[in-house]
Structure 1
Amino acid sequence: MIPASLQANPSLDRWVAFPAPGVARIAFGKVEYGQGALTALAQIAAEELDVSMAQVQVANAATGAVPDEGMTVGSMSIEVSGSAVRAACAEVRALFVAQAARRLDCAEGQIDVRDGAFLREGQATGETYWTLAPAIDLAQPPSGQARWKSQDQHRLVGRSEPRLDLPAKMFGGGFIQDLVMPGMLHARVLRQPGPTARLAKLDEPAARRAAAPADLDILVEGSFVAFISPSEAAAARAHAAVELTTQWDTPRDLSPTLSEAASLKEMPTTELETGAPAGGPANRKRLQAAYSRPYIAHGSMSPSCGIGHFVDGRLTVWTHAQGVYPPRMQIARITGLAPEAIDLEHAQGAGCYGHNGAEDAAYDAAFIASRRPGPPIRVQWRREDEFGHSPVSTAMRVEMAAELDASGRLVDWTTEIWTNLHVNRGRTLIEPALPQGPPDLPAPNQATAFGGRLNAVPSYDIEAVRVKEHLVVHSPVRTSSLRGLGGPVNTYAGECFLDEIAQAAGQDPLAFRLAMLSDPRARAVVERIGVVSGWNARGAGGEGQGLGLAYDRHRDRGAYVAVAAKVSVDEEVRLEHLWCVADAGLIINPDGAKNQIEGGMIMAASWALKEQVKLEGRGVASVTWDDYPILRFDEVPPVDIELIVPPGAAPNGIGEISLGPCLAAIGNAVAHALGARLRDLPYTRDRIARALLAE
């Protein structure tokens, strides 16, 4: 069977080439932004081709140079691109083995490949991929007949190979922010105070005085304003000189109450409902609870950057977006150029999972360059831009109800969700400022609004489950995708509520979960998390020390994950230890997988204890690290991760799997420590005090 991504990009030469002796060039459409996909996909290719990692050269993602695999999202790089790379390389190896057998006049079964060299019954033949390459045209579709290696044949897959992207990053020059081009100009963009604001008065002389003695070009088109100079500092001075004095018609004015998820219930919604109808015997015990998470930011360590260069009718854009093909269509719409006249090249940026400011910085640079042909134009956002104008993850409120039968068995479950859009790439930052305005986009439906419902169905054997989503289409701020979309919040709410249900039923939380799990792989991770966390010594709690756990199957079909958290709580929550047991099927690079899981747990811990976007007045008010704190290095606890790899299991995505269970494990640990339940994130000192007073 040919994987879908290979079917969509069916020419083998799009995936594999042998451009020079000793070099196997591998191309794929997914990009590296800190998650380690580049290394893992290179391992898959090297494994199937039987070349060494040193012989693999990964093509940089660029339009026209790599297959179009859309965006790098949803922890799908290994599942989607990995399967395509594996199949393409197996096809290529089969073609070369057949050619070697013809040239050596022997059976294909006598041929083996080691480090790109073809052996006959273990003996060198002088033939290699590079000697055979001139005789083979890879501009052909896959046959679907090539067989890839089984798990017991792997030599490279399953090993912790060093990350290919780290040396440049560690020693300088590895990021888009480091790119320097001859004659490059720098631009700063003056932002509207809200998408409906219109430029009324701009003090251009003040901007020029501030930029002096450097040259300054001011681009004004509609309500879009950019200051362009050979000196980045001069462009910044010009921007600062008018940022507060520029006059706008109809600026945004937001109430601070919109920062809280509870405000979503007061906004117009679109209703989306799935599942069994409600209703059961009247003698059931019914429980209800509501949980929430506020708007949160990506919080990447470096603000976004983009570079555009328009020369001889072609526009080239360097971006750290999550893909190179989809943004090209947006750039065509923004600039008025034909898509065929636009090239995008990926350049790595600060770690990010989802839709941060990377694309918008690229759109800024592309638009300015299209209006100022000749020199490369670099747009480097400030920290205030990143926090204030990049998309944020939507606030969510999750209300749940459950029913227990007379034996204490959970038999009925309802999840009701209030959320903004989680996938919103069609709404750019720049277009509301341009004369043509933003495009008319179709109304959300079950397919486009899926993000809010992820993991809303509990990963347990429950007779009746229903989910109702209240989609708030018009948000006070621009929302879009952040790691896991709505899945982590739904898992957090569901797993914390499950602990409340277990308590009401008078049952141990771990045993209560196991009683509803028939899948052996699910049971294995839950049982194991109890062992590694010392669950049997947990105690009654309520004395400021707590141990909690949670389980989830990612998106109801992927990896199985259980997390336990040990905390101490006084006026604040302190993380003492985190554990994770995960079954994500075949693991390509164990160290990389553990990095992903650990990173997700630390991010979830930061969400749980620290993070909240504050809204007020013209938009986001939390625009510095002081206003938007994240977990500090000295607050990160010991993290232990154990991977279960069942024989013959297919690989599952890793990047998002630990967030929801970790959020819930921390929530359950805090409740165990306090003897009181906190339901609204983050767990601040004030919320701890209110929860204790409520008890």
Structure 2
Amino acid sequence: MTDRLQNPARRRLLAAGGSLTLAFSMGPAWGQAENEASSGKLPGSLDKDPWLDSWIRIDADNRITVFTGKAELGQGIKTALLQVAAEELGVAPPRIALVTADTARTPNEGYTAGSHSMQDSGTALRYAAAQVHALLAGFAAQRFGVDPSILMTRDGALRTPDGRRATYGELVAGRQLHLRADPATKPRAPAMHTVVGKSLPRVDIPAKVSGGTAYVQDLRPSGMVHARVVRPPSAAARLLSLDAGGVARLPGVLKVVRDGRFLAVIADGEYRAVKAATALALAARWDVPADLPAGMDTAALVRSLPAQSYPILERSDPAAQAGGGRTLSASYSRPFQLHASVGPSCAIAQLVDGKYTVWTHSQGVYPLREALAELLGAKKDAIRCIHIEGSGCYGHNAADDVAADAALLARAWPGKPVRVQLMREDEHGHEPFGAPMSTMVAATLDAGGRIADWRYEVWSPPHNTRPGKAGNLLAATHLAKPFVPPTPKPSPQPEGAGDRNGVPYYVLPNARVVHHFQPGAPLRTSALRSLGAYGNVFSIESFMDELAHAAGVDPVAFRLRHLDDERAIEVVRTAAQRFGWDAYKKTPRRGRGFAFARYKNLAAFCAIALEVEVVRETGLVRITRAVAAVDCGEVVNPDGVRNQIEGGIIQSASWTLLERVRFDASQVLTRDWAGYPILRFNQVPERIDIHLAERAGQPFLGTGEAAQGPTSAAIANAVADACGLRLRDVPLDRARVRTGR
């Protein structure tokens, strides 16, 4: 931070450009900031990067550029952040250029993960833009000799009532200010909003539907060459021999690269690279050990792994003990699952004059830069990572791995951009999978049908081994001098990882929750959207239904009697009412299910009611309709929030009904869509209705991962209602529905 203030070259550049650059520090004043006032933290990501020029630039020609360290992943964050900045600056969103996740240009906001983009970046931009506008008004008032309160803002300019006008660019021309901001400056009152709260069209969509350059897969820089990697058949496979002479002589092949078990080809065309990689794979002889635990079910496999036990909740109220109460218990599981990106991961890297540029759809360009610097033996300043959206992600898929491939091959073929496009079998067979989980829950009901005692345990391998270290990159583990993956550690509560949402959001007088963290697994695992929340909410909300039936209480009423948060109560009631829960009439083969969770117990509230049709003879489970009620704090773009919840419901339905990684004793078997089916269009619910709570002026709450957990349990609960079959292991696929196990 000090360098930003004292770097003479930077100061001269800014002065020459005639732009507004300010040192920024302000006390919390509104919304989320009020919650942070006692800690002295600045709002959102400003606490990590408090300098205004990290976030906003206004040039003398009246161009406005806004910077964010968060990445567009298809969640619509570009549009929402533009709305936030435009609202506070008093300009139309199209007037603003937005720069996302670039280690040379944007603030370091770590990973775009955990539904934190609006909480972190949106809040930072709201306060930064509000302060900029206040300063511009002060400059204009000084120029015109008027009180700032009488000035009007319109289209990037400030006007006096008598018609005098100055554009933002004119007001900042020649200024080079490093001032501490006035902590009393507040964002606009919600009642004055004209942009925030409106469903503006997504700015990232047009190129995606018109065949434009939308994804990193679409980039074609001048002089680009193509590369393909050849992965070992399994993580433990040893390369016995390689006869690459014939491959090197194939048409268009520029170079065959071998470094330990890392094999690749570079060619002058993509199809030639594909053909050469196929030939290279045939030229390699591997020893593939049969060391995978084939044939074990998920629960047995997970519980067989060494674990470190961490109690994450201990609560005791002797007065609420249920002597002689009825105790129920159950176990649940989820398997290894894929990110199943529609477009296999891709990256482009170029080495010129000792400096690397990497175009990547990594969700963390700064942590990736750290890992690449270690991998390449280069200084961080010699590597620039630029985020370009990828056609499929949400979590730690193979995006970082392919960026490492591209960087290594750029070093092997300097001067030219080297494009590495993974094949489907590379993505499916070698990405870091979503971690399997096994859970056990037991509860005692008192005489009044309330939960008097709760015991919950979750076993799971790591859910987050994202880069930051070279050993988290697949290629780094294949080199002749391999990098060892760092030992995973459990993520702390309240967010957690495998234990995310392991603590129920209900009033439980006596409760104990234990996380059995397992540092190792037979297959590599990392972040899949919502991490452990999907498995934990599936378990907890399935069991809440089982308890409700044991108590003879309606499942919605049972949840309400265990909630004391008014916002949680409101979303539960709204989802039930909009679904028509009380008036529901059962018909043959159909049933209803309900579930609720607050994501991470600190982000968005989400309740889901849905109906399924179940055909036991064929195993078919089809969601006919779903209703969700969501409270995510202030809503910037209602349509964007609905997109996220709808997408979460559909994605979770696919996980819950279909998805499971299969492997034998030697290798992963699910390497194509036939082996790993995902939800098809004809399986999508006929109707999905999303109802958003009005919370103008409240802090932003993360939305992108709120629906996955409740959807899974609502499906299982609806299946049980439709046909009496209680399935506790994901996926609830046709075989399980047919056989009942």
TM range, normalised to the smaller chain?
over 0.9
Instruction: Give the alignment partner of residue 5 of structure 1, picking from 35, 40, 45.
Output: 45
Counterparts of 1:429-578 in structure 2 under 5 Å?
429-439=474-484, 441-442=486-487, 444-445=489-490, 447=492, 450-539=496-585, 543-570=588-615, 571=618, 572-578=620-626
Unpaired stretches in structure 2, ≥5 consecutive residues: 1-27, 29-41
Aligned 8 A contact 1:11 1:142 in 2? no
For 1:181, the aligned partner's letter is P
Q: Distance in 1 between matches of 2:384 and 2:531?
A: 29
Q: Equivalent residues in 2 for 1:661-672 (5 A)?
A: 661-672=710-721
SS of the residue aligned with 1:535?
Answer: coil
Please state how far the C-alpha of 1:282 moved relative to its aligned partner: 4.3
The equivalent residue for 1:309 is: 350
Alpha-carbon spacing, 1:255–1:241, altered in 2? closer, same or farther (3 Å): farther
Deviation at 1:252?
5.7
User: How far 1:351 moved relative to its partner?
Assistant: 3.0
Q: Which amino acid aligns with 1:272?
A: Y
Structure 2 residue aligned with 1:680: 729
Quote the residue 2:657 is aligned against. Answer: 609
AA at the equivalent of 2:540: G
Residues 352, 250 of structure 1: alpha-carbon distance in 2 compared, 3 angstrom cutoff: closer
Match of 1:380 among 394, 406, 421: 421
C-alpha distance in 1 between matches for 2:481 and 2:511: 46
Return the offset for 1:575.
Answer: 1.1
Cα displacement (A) at 1:404: 0.7
Q: Secondary structure at the match of 1:27?
A: strand
Is the 8 Å Cα contact of residues 60 and 170 (structure 2) preserved in structure 1?
no
Matched residue, 1:104:
144
Match of 1:655 in 2: 704
Match of 2:307 in 1: 269
Cα shift at 1:276 = 2.1
The 1:176/1:258 distance shift into structure 2, 3 A limit, reads: farther
Partner of 2:190 in structure 1?
151
Alignment of 1:642 with 2:691, yes or no, is yes
The 1-side partners of 2:541 and 2:103 are apart by: 42
Deviations along 1:309-368, one digit per CA (max 9) or x if unpaired, are 001111110001113211001001111111111111111111321101111111100111
Shift in Å, 1:478: 0.8
Is 1:401 aligned to residue 460 of structure 2? Answer: no
Q: Of 356, 359, 363, which residue of structure 2 is paired with 1:322?
A: 363
Distance in 1 (alpha carbons) for counterparts of 2:180 and 2:433: 41
CA 1:319–1:93 in structure 2 vs 1: closer, same or farther (change >3 Å)?
Answer: same
TM, length-normalised to structure 2: 0.90
Relative to the length of structure 1, the TM-score reads: 0.96
Which string of whole-angstrom CA distances, capped at 9 and with x for unpartnered residues, describes residues 385-443 of structure 1?
A: 11111111001111100111122111211111111100111422111111232236245
The equivalent residue for 1:357 is: 398
Query: 2: CA distance between counterparts of 1:6 and 1:217?
Result: 46
Identity score, percent:
41
Preserved contact between residue 487 and residue 519 of structure 2 (Cα < 8 Å): no
Letter in 1 for 2:554: D
Q: Deviations over 1:432-474 (max 9, x none)?
A: 1112322362452453992011111111111122211222221
Q: Tell whether 2:180 aligns with 1:132.
A: no
SS where residue 59 of structure 1 aligns?
strand
- Residue type at the aligned position of 2:165: G
Displacement of 1:7: 2.8
- Deviations along 1:143-178, whole A, 9 cap, x unmatched? 433211121111100001111111122222111111
Partner deviation per Cα, 1:280-303 (whole Å, 9 max, x = no partner): 554121100111111111111100
User: Helix, strand or coil: the match of 1:186?
Assistant: strand
Q: 1:125 to 1:320 in 2, by over 3 A?
A: same
Listed as ranges, the matches of 1:67-466 within 5 Å are 67-121=107-161, 123-137=162-176, 139-140=178-179, 142-171=181-210, 172-208=212-248, 212-249=250-287, 251=289, 253-258=291-296, 260-276=298-314, 280-426=321-467, 427-439=472-484, 441-442=486-487, 444-445=489-490, 447=492, 450-466=496-512
**How many Å separate the matches in 2 of 1:202 and 1:256?**
29
Q: Secondary structure at the match of 1:359?
A: helix
Please tell me whether the aligned partners of residues 334 and 436 of structure 2 are also in contact (alpha carbons under 8 angstroms). Answer: yes
Deviation at 1:250, TM superposition (A): 5.6
SS of match in other structure, 1:6: helix
Instruction: Give the CA deviation at 1:595.
Output: 0.2
RMSD, matched Cα: 1.9
Q: How many angstroms apart in 2 are the aligned matches of 1:140 and 1:197?
A: 59
Out of 363-372 and 588-597, give the one that drifted further.
Answer: 363-372
Q: Give the Cα separation in 2 of the matches to 1:286 and 1:124.
A: 76
Deviation at 1:136, TM superposition (A): 3.4
SS of the aligned residue for 2:690 comes to: strand
How far apart, CA to CA, are the structure 2 residues paired with 1:202 and 1:442?
A: 32
Contact 1:529 1:564 (8 Å CA) reproduced:
yes
Residue 281 to residue 7, structure 1, CA distance change in 2 (3 Å): closer
Tell me the distance in 1 between the aligned counterparts of 2:297 and 2:86.
49
* Greater mean alpha carbon deviation, residues 292-301 or residues 5-14: 5-14
Distance 2:428 2:335 in 1: 15
Name the amino acid aligned to 1:563.
Answer: I
Distance 1:574 1:440, change over 3 A: closer
The aligned amino acid for 1:379 is V
- Determine the structure 1 residue equivalent to 2:25: none
Match of 2:638 among 569, 573, 590: 590
3-state DSSP of counterpart to 2:698:
coil
Unpaired segments of 5 or more residues in structure 1? none
Deviations 1:218-265 (A, max 9, x none): 111122111111122122112212324522346464243256343111
* 1:443–1:386 distance in 2 versus 1, CA, 3 Å: closer
Kindly state the Cα deviation for residue 375 of structure 1 after the two structures are TM-superposed: 1.1
Would you say how many aligned residue pairs link Structure 1 and Structure 2? 688
Displacement of 1:135 = 4.2
* CA distance in structure 2 between the partners assigned to 1:48 and 1:137 by the alignment: 22
Query: How big is the shift at 1:179?
Result: 0.8
The answer to whether the 8 Å contact 1:13/1:139 transfers is: no
Range moving further from structure 2, 481-490 or 266-275: 266-275
Q: Distance in 2 between matches of 1:374 and 1:532?
A: 60
Determine if contact 2:603/2:703 at 8 Å carries over to the other structure: no
Q: 1:583 to 1:374 in 2, by over 3 A?
A: same
Question: How many angstroms apart in 2 are the aligned matches of 1:37 and 1:127?
Answer: 31
Deviation at residue 127 of structure 1 after TM alignment: 0.2
Preserved CA contact (<8 Å) 1:196 1:252:
no
Which sits farther off after the overlay, 61-70 or 152-161?
A: 61-70
Name which of structure 1's ranges 270-279 and 657-666 shifts more when overlaid on structure 2. 270-279
Amino acid corresponding to residue 381 of structure 1 in structure 2? L
- Aligned partner letter, 2:562: M
Distance 1:285 1:539, change over 3 A: farther
Q: CA shift at 1:608, angstroms? A: 1.2
In 1: Cα distance, 2:204 partner to 2:490 partner: 39
Distance 1:31 1:398, change over 3 A: same
